[in-house]
Structure 1
Amino acid sequence: MPISNGESDARLALTAAQAGAAVVRDLYGSRLARYDKSAGDFATEADLAAERAILDVLRAARPGDAVTGEESGRSGAAGAHRRWLVDPLCGTLNYAVRTVLAGVNVALREGAEATAAATADPFSGEVFWTDGEAAWVHRGGEDEPLTPWAGSALVDVNLDPPFPNAPGFRAVHLLADPGFAGRFRPRVVSSTLAVAWVAAGRRAAYVTDGDLRDSVHFAAGIALCRAAGCTVTGLYGEPVLSGAHGLVAAADAETHAALLDLVKNQRG
């Protein structure tokens, strides 16, 4: 757990995520300007303000590090060994219509690996965090180790586009597969907070399509799941983050294998 300026990278990720979550929580329910992005996506003033708060924390403690923010883009050297990936409000549409299912994601990538990460729930006050080796949930000033559990059989499936692996894989077809319905119960949270829930034992698994390399949305959740001992790969069992092949993060190997078989069924 590298330490600089008196605070480890992992604790810094937690502190930065808490700063963003405080802004998201404080602005909840207020009239917020919307800023159109592309393909129906948008940001609100809460997204922008939360990102500013996170970046203030990171830049004060690690001024030499590069940063990629969902709203502000990339800063620092293009090939920087250390890069922070910041998603200040995952679940913007939920938040904009006053649905309290959103997360704040902060992760540090060193080389090819995420070595520190945090996902904060602005409304429960919980922060799921990792130093890349172990993972905890921080609540009420205390830290409790994360323990994955598949017993709920609840599987979150991301239905948001794009779908780079279609027609070979479509999330909606996975939900309609009789084998899925016979073993699992679908959930669609529309926030990567649900990835942290796999690490915490609140979901059996999470499945998404997409190219997740250097993803500000997914880097923190993947790091949490790995550190907690989940089984994590791409859609077809390949190393996650090795290409545009999505994510299957499962609480245990048995659940993971069952989901991989269902995904592979779509390819015929």
Structure 2
Amino acid sequence: MQQRAESRMPTELDAHMHTLRKRYLETMSNLLTTVEAALRHCEDGSLDADGRVALGNVAHRLSGTGKTYGFPRISASAREIDVRLKERPDMPARELMELIYSLVVACRNALGRDEIRGVSAQRVSFGRRPPSVATTPQQDVPNRPVMLVVDDDPDMRDLFTGLFSHEARVLTAVNSDEALVMMRRHNPSLVLLDDIMPGAITGLKFLETLQTSGEFRGTPIVMITASDAPENIERGMNAGAAGYITKPFDVADATEKVRRFLKAVSQP
């Protein structure tokens, strides 16, 4: 039985990733409107501080998900914008325009190469996302571990919910404040925690706060984040992270790592 289940896993993973990749492309077509607007404003000199912040937020999101869904050029181009804007929020428009153009081309190429026809013309409004994997009823299997996914990116929440809904009861939170409420309410067996999220504190700071307070000391918390600088990884491990997976990641590799943690917490 176990061998048959394992032999089906790659096919199930491929099918699941195909569904999520379609949804990712639809979401990306929406985000691309913000990037293209920033490019136009750079060209006519009207990109203001708010526009730069909006561009940085989109770039940060795309940098962490592009490669995960099979588009490494999107991750590379978006990460360049994310990093450069954090270093120099007022960088010259001409310099920024070149970076934005590279991201626009990467996104347009991804949409054009995909087999889904018409995706690039779709515009999914914020707040009106397609039905999420997270909304799919999870199988009622007794004694399943509870896994909490803390990430402001709905694509990441959908990804892990879909991948592990048959092995765990997957809950989600969008920031550290919401995560603390969920942890106190549901006492999860495993937490997957992003770092850069909206809210009062980052994921790393949240982890350090939990370590100081001693609350949830026995709960394994795995950082899954684009904050891949050596000092951030060291900081996370020193704060008690059970593991560290950097975005963008290989889905099969990340799945195996998380599955090992789930098996460990499921053992009596």
TM-score (norm 2): 0.29
Larger Rg: 2
Structure with more of its chain in helix, by fraction: 2
Structure with more of its chain in strand, by fraction: 1
